[in-house]
Each structure stands twice: as structure tokens, then as C-alpha cells.
Structure 1
Amino acid sequence: MTWAPFLLALAVFVGSHYLPARTGLREVALRRFGRRAYFSVYGLVSLAVLGWVVVAAGHAPYLQLWPPMPWMRWVPNLAMPLALVLTACGLGLRQPWTLGAKRGATFDPADPGLAAVTRHPLLWALALWAGAHLLVNGDLAHVVLFGLFLAMALGFMPVFDARARRDLAASDRAAFFAATSVLSLAPFAEREWRAANLRPLAIRSGLGLALWIVALALHGAVIGVSPLPL
């Protein structure tokens, strides 16, 4: 048992997310194959590489940094339902400057939708998943793995916001940031926002909770560890 497979998987994962954009490969592929084909293939490759990294972390040498405590197991059980609700509600968000945004979306500040609560729901979902699993996996390989995902999730929020500031004209920029938030519960107190958004968000939340139940049931079989705190 060596560190080489984990480090290789980690390098491929990081490289697959940074090199296509930095080297111009993504633009070449988009022109040649089109957005739908490129992002479909890229999404499948990303999922495969993610699975590889997770499996490789489980087979890396075990070096404990902090001991597991029984109370820690409650954290992912409380965080993951919210993470999957955010994922279900955030996919296809109608603002283009975030992860998982609707393709070709244009933002309407008069109807911001979930972006009024958070303009980065999928990044918050990723941060919740990574942070909760970081706590309960105190060995070096998993600390590196989940710490990387947590840093990426939190770090990409200002990156996307900076891109929005760069792309938008001054007046549109002010309207965009006035209508949206990094994270705020204030829209739930606004009657007009609730009337327009609570029903579709409730349906998506139900789908997210159903996905969480499936993930909870399959966790032991797929990952090899029961996530239940008892």
C-alpha cells in the first residue's frame, strides 16, 4: 500500500478541472464538437475521475490526524439532506455565473429565484458535503481529499462573482448583486418572493430528500461504511 495511486488520481482530478481552460483545449473542443457534446463527455469523465479519487483515498496508507468520535457521525447525517436539497434546487439556476447554471440562461433581477437566497447553491452543497465528511474522516488521505473539495467550493464563489463583475455592465452589475446573495434567508420573509418560488422549490426539495434517502440506503454497500450515527 503506497501513496502513488492516490496522488496520481488527485493529480488527474485537479488537472482535468484546470488544464482544459488554462491551455485552450476547452475552447478548441467546444468549437469542434459543440457545447452539448463537450460538456456531456466532460461531465461523465469528471464523475469517473471523482470516483477514482474517492476509491484511491480509501486505499491510501492510513495516517490518523484526529480520532473519530461518536458525535461526529451526526454531522454528515444533518448536513447531507440540506446538501442534496441545495443540489436539487440549484441545478439549472437561472443565473450564468455559478456551477450548474442553466445553459444560455439570462438573469432577471426582478425574478431572481433561488439566487436571492444564494447565487451559488451547488457550491454550498459541495462545501457541506466536503466539510461534513472531512470531520468524520480524520486520516491524512481523506483530510487532503475533502479539504481540497471544501477549498474549491468556497474558493470558486468569489471567482464566479468576479466573472460576473467583469461580464456585466455597471448598471446590470449593481442590479445583479442587489437581487442576489452569497447566502441569505431574508427572501423567505418576503411575501412576493414566497408566492413565486416556494412551490417549485418545495417540489425540488422533495426530490433532493428522496435522493438523500437513496444515498443513505446505498452508502454502506457502495462506500463500505454505514453512515448512520447509531
Structure 2
Amino acid sequence: MQGWGGFIAAFIVFFLSHGLPVRPPVKPWLVARIGARGFTWLYSALSLAVLTWLIVAAGRAPFIALWSGPEALRHIALTVMLGVCLILAFTLGRPNPFSFGGLHNDRFDPAQPGIVRLSRHPLLLALALWGGAHLLVNGDLAHVILFGAFAAFAGFGGRMITRRKRREMGEAYDRLWSATRAAPLHLSPIPGTGLRLAVALLLYAALIMLHGPVIGISPLR
């Protein structure tokens, strides 16, 4: 299915695939069978697959130009995407009791919160930056809808998750968040910093190399 029909179908599947697995009746059932780590990896793989489909579907939708920015915007987008890769590398696989996607949240140390000291929802921050960067260089209607929706979703999604986590954790949420914000803001390396930097650079290089074959447009052109 191509055209607007394929784009709309991909959008519907994307939001269903993100909403249904984390619903209270569904997530406990899945976690009981594949474990918390298995659920995280399955959810991440499903999200990536459907996201790829959605981006490809946007490229196949009828082209309706809204704006065309200067060449400098492409360099800004590439710089922002490097930041996105750094956020992802320093977020994935680390505990974060304030948002989704954290592993071993019982081991979270508010005295050494890592990137959570800067944002309680780093994955949503990465999503918002990704959407904003791509809005700069994609001024057609389908991509404006796509990336604008993701940026808005990241903003509203953070508020929804915060409310839900506060209900689940009660007063412990505010105490833990206050302790996290009180941690010193410094750039001293933590175990695994070098590895995560390497992962970020490899991810950035992979995205640039695969962007053309998968999406159909090279970001370096």
C-alpha cells in the first residue's frame, strides 16, 4: 500500500504498537513470559521496525511542498543528530525509574544519575530533537506531519509518563527526583563512558550510511 493510504496505515500501526504493549493488562503478561529485559528488547525492536516503515511510507506519500530551507539547515540537522546519538548511547541500558526504557531501576543511584540528571525523559528528548532536526530539512506535507507529530508526542508523552510514574511511586517519586536534581552536575567520566561514546559515534556513522539505502535520500548530499 502506497500513497496517503499507506502513510495513514503506518501511522495507525505505529501508535498502536507503542500504546498497546505498555497497557497494564498487556505489559505484565509479556514481562511474566519473556522477562523485563526481553520486553525492553522486543519493544525496542518492534518500535524500530514500525518507525522505519512509517518513514518509508512518508517518502512514498504524494509530495506537497510547504517550504524549502537553505543548505545550512542540513548541517544543523546533522549536528543535532550527533547529539541524538549521544543521548541514546548514554541512556539505553541504564536505570531510570522516572521514565520508560530503564533497566534495573532498583539499582538507580540518585547520587550518580548520569544523563537522568539533565532530563528525566532522555529518550523522549532524543525523539524531540530527531523530529525537530528533520523538520528543518523536510518541508513537504507528509514529512511535516510525521516529524511534527513526533516532536509533539515527545513533549506531551513526557508529561503523561511523569503523571503515571507519580501515581505508581507515590511520595517516593518526588523524594527520589529531588535527590537526583541535588546531585552535582559535572562531566567526570563514569564506568563505560568510553564505550558509550564509541557506540554513539558508530550509531551516527551507521545512520548516515544507511540513510540513503533505507530511506532513499543521503543526508550528505
What TM-score comes out, normalization by structure 2 length?
0.85
For residues 122 and 38 of structure 2, the distance between their equivalents in structure 1, rounded to whole angstroms, comes to 25
Is 1:150–2:151 an aligned residue pair? yes
In the other structure, the counterpart of 2:177 is 177
Unaligned runs of 5+ in 1: 189-193
Any residues of structure 2 matched to 1:74-223 within 5 Å, and which?
74-170=75-171, 172-180=172-180, 187-188=185-186, 194-195=187-188, 197-198=189-190, 200-223=192-215
Deviation for aligned residue 1:23: 7.8
C-alpha RMSD of matched pairs (Å): 2.6
The aligned amino acid for 1:70 is E
Unaligned runs of 5+ in 2: none
The aligned amino acid for 2:185 is P
Deviation for aligned residue 1:207: 2.0
Deviation for aligned residue 1:37: 4.5
Q: After the TM superposition, which of the residue ranges 156-165 and 35-44 deviates more from structure 2?
A: 35-44
Identity of aligned residues (%): 40
Deviation for aligned residue 1:210: 2.4
For residues 21 and 174 of structure 1, the distance between their equivalents in structure 2, rounded to whole angstroms, comes to 23
For residues 24 and 137 of structure 1, the distance between their equivalents in structure 2, rounded to whole angstroms, comes to 39
CA 1:39–1:201 in structure 2 vs 1: closer, same or farther (change >3 Å)? closer
For residues 23 and 158 of structure 1, the distance between their equivalents in structure 2, rounded to whole angstroms, comes to 18
Q: After the TM superposition, which of the residue ranges 27-36 and 63-72 deviates more from structure 2?
A: 27-36
Deviation for aligned residue 1:28: 3.7
Deviation for aligned residue 1:36: 4.5
For residues 29 and 174 of structure 1, the distance between their equivalents in structure 2, rounded to whole angstroms, comes to 29
For residues 129 and 76 of structure 1, the distance between their equivalents in structure 2, rounded to whole angstroms, comes to 8
For residues 4 and 78 of structure 2, the distance between their equivalents in structure 1, rounded to whole angstroms, comes to 30
CA 1:168–1:76 in structure 2 vs 1: closer, same or farther (change >3 Å)? same
Any residues of structure 2 matched to 1:61-76 within 5 Å, and which?
61-76=62-77
Contact preservation (8 Å) 2:124, 2:158: yes
